Amino acid sequence: MSVPLQQKLMDISSLTSKLLRKNFGRGPESCYAYANERFLVFYIRGFLSPLESTLLENGNPDNIEISRNIVMKTVLNQLRGIIELEFEQDVECFYHDWNYPQNTGMITVQFEGDINEPVSQNQPISFDPKPLINEVERISILVQKRPEKTEAICISPKIHVVKREGILVQIEKMLIAKGYEHTLLVTKDELEKSYLHRDGRFEEIFRNPVADIFVDWDLSEDRSIICFVLK
């Protein structure tokens, strides 16, 4: 007998909290999982350690980013096998991003195929992806260039994911080849988020206030995830 999706999401949220606690020395205040189509998204709250809080107060978010990225590689490696077994799909890639001032974060898992179960037993979510795709592409053009491919997926009424492919310009590819990947990521993160928050018309599109916008890149595959969390 198969386990219902909601139970799987609760179990995997609890396990992820435990893995974060084991690897970071403290766990998040809350960790909720949402899933639809090929995506599993964790929304995490209250996850700054005392050391990270001190670094943040002294204006060193880059140092937090470096240490978190190292530890998160271990967490995601441990999570991969469990998630693949639980959802009966291979993981294509992981993304993660953190909003340190708000003490929130996201981990997004993209599977190679759709998760078997539908998002819920209720009525399907009514969502027109086109305005969201158009707005993300408009912002992408301001910052770098139009993505070669953009898709928007409604994970739940509260969580929306936009996946972009083919977003790197030639100079960025050269910087990656010369080993400046971390500097590029930090710069892209600051620049793109500032445009998404300042110039984006997302509250108008969602007809809802936006609580968080997370962005992460897979530079080796030239793709990116933007995750919108609504209030």
Distance CA 210, CA 20 (A): 26
Tens digit of each residue's pLDDT (9 = 90 or more) over 97-147: 999 889 999 999 999 998 855 444 444 567 889 999 999 999 999 998 999
- Listed in sequence order, the residues at least 6 apart from 219 whose beta carbon sits closer than 8 Å to its beta carbon are 168, 172, 176, 181, 184, 185
Report the number of secondary-structure helices (H) and strands (E) in the chain: 7, 8
Q: Which helix (H) or strand (E) holds 184?
A: helix 181-199
Is 89 in the same domain as 175? Answer: no
Domain final residue pick, 51, 83, 111: 111
Q: Are strands 210-218 and 159-165 parallel, antiparallel or unpaired?
A: unpaired
Domain-located, residue 122:
no
Is 21 in the same domain as 105? Answer: yes
Tens digit of each residue's pLDDT (9 = 90 or more) over 112-126: 998 855 444 444 567
Is 104 in the same domain as 184? Answer: no
pTM for the predicted model, two decimal places: 0.90
Q: What is the CATH number of the domain that holds 178?
A: 3.30.980
Is 9 in the same domain as 107? Answer: yes
Which amino acid is residue 70, in one-letter code?
I
Tens digit of each residue's pLDDT (9 = 90 or more) over 164-185: 999 999 999 999 999 998 888 8
Is 105 in the same domain as 15? Answer: yes
Domain final residue pick, 84, 111, 138: 111
Q: Which helix (H) or strand (E) holds 154?
A: strand 149-154
**Domains contained in the chain, number:** 2
Q: Which domain holds residue 182?
A: 130-230
